[in-house]
């Protein structure tokens, strides 16, 4: 009997990289080499390049890297979820770089999640502990706090549109991670995220809520990650700027015969 799993997702977070020209070249290169697949392949370029890329893509889906918690109005420099919804289906929220550099709080992230859902965007929300929190054995506490803040006030329908990413800060390459990820190491955390969601919404929702892993994902460790049946895909940072490596990651996940198109 095959177990029902959520759809598979590979998401590239370009962060504050590329130029207008390079962004277009990169996405065209990815699209040209992408295998036929049921996997949802998402790229998240900088805001500025969303429209140009939106007009050029045929296969990949678009996501933003952040949105405002506000609907609109006098918020200089901000971009609302409603504005993004003209181009995007997804938005990354609660990324650790924003939690750390922009001092985003759980409460703010929760407001952004609600704003995104209201604008019919699917939030891709990141959770994960820092190295010192892990060393102090606070991982479960941090995950619980972050997940509970995200799901607070969401309806069952809304949580079903949300994608969760377990992305431990210690594993992110831009924070200087030299850790070679052993995917089996993060399975207890992945299970904990599911347990918290199930405790509020019932186990049944889990078959439709993708749970991704993020942090130093590359074509070198993708095979090992893909083998972990409790991980439904990956959030890729630096390697999503390399079309060859990013497509290879998709190819590796595409080998899974149980790729669902739900």
Q: Which residues contact 151 (CB under 8 A, 6 or more apart)?
A: 159, 162, 196, 197, 200, 201
CB of 153 to ligand PGA, least distance (A): 26
Active-site residue among 40, 95, 108, 158?
Answer: 95
**Of residues 13 and 254, the one with the C-beta less far from ligand PGA:** 13
- What is the 8-class DSSP label of residue 35? P
Alpha carbon of 42 to those of 57, 115, 154, 245, 248: distances in Å?
A: 11, 20, 24, 15, 14
**Residue closest to ligand PGA (Cβ):** 237
Binding site for ligand PGA (CB under 6 A): 13, 167, 172-174, 214-217, 235-239
**Of residues 63 and 214, the one with the C-beta less far from ligand PGA:** 214
CB of 218 to ligand PGA, least distance (A): 8
CB of 104 to ligand PGA, least distance (A): 14
The torsion region of residue 59 among left (phi > 0), alpha (psi -120 to 50) and beta comes to: alpha
CB of 157 to ligand PGA, least distance (A): 27
User: What is the DSSP annotation of 45-56?
Assistant: --GGGHHHHHTT
CB of 215 to ligand PGA, least distance (A): 5
Please, are residues 253 and 205 in contact by the beta-carbon 8 Å criterion? no
**Of residues 33 and 173, the one with the C-beta less far from ligand PGA:** 173
167 included as an active-site residue: yes
**Of residues 239 and 248, the one with the C-beta less far from ligand PGA:** 239
Query: Tokens for 37?
Result: 């697949």
**Of residues 13 and 110, the one with the C-beta less far from ligand PGA:** 13
CB atoms within 10 A of CB 103: 8
CA nearest 85: which of 104, 64, 113?
A: 64
- Which run of H or of E encompasses 61? strand 61-64
Please, are residues 62 and 50 in contact by the beta-carbon 8 Å criterion? yes
Residues identified as active-site: 95, 167
């Amino acid at each position: 009997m095959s177990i029902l799993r959520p759809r598979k997702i590979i998401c590239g977070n370009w962060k504050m990289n590329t130029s207008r020209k390079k962004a277009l070249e990169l996405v065209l290169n990815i699209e040209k080499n992408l295998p036929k697949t049921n996997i949802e392949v998402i790229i998240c370029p900088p805001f500025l390049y969303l429209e140009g890329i939106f007009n050029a893509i045929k296969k990949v889906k678009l996501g933003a890297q952040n949105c405002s918690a506000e609907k609109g109005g006098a918020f200089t420099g901000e971009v609302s979820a409603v504005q993004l919804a003209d181009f995007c289906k997804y938005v990354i929220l609660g990324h650790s770089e924003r939690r750390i550099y922009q001092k985003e709080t759980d409460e703010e992230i929760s407001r952004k999640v609600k704003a995104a859902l209201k604008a019919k965007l699917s939030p891709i929300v990141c959770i994960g502990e820092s190295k010192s929190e892990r060393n102090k054995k606070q991982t479960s506490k941090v995950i619980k706090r972050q997940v509970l803040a995200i799901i607070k006030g969401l309806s069952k329908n809304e949580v079903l549109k949300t994608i969760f990413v377990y992305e431990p800060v210690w594993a992110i390459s831009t924070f200087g991670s030299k850790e070679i990820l052993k995917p089996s190491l993060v399975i207890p955390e992945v299970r904990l995220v599911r347990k918290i969601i199930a405790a509020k919404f019932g186990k049944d929702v889990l078959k439709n809520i993708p749970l991704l892993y993020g942090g130093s994902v590359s074509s070198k460790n993708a095979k090992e990650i893909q083998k972990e049946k409790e991980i439904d895909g990956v959030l890729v940072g630096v390697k999503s700027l390399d079309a060859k490596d990013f497509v290879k990651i998709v190819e590796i996940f595409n080998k899974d015969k149980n790729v669902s198109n739900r």
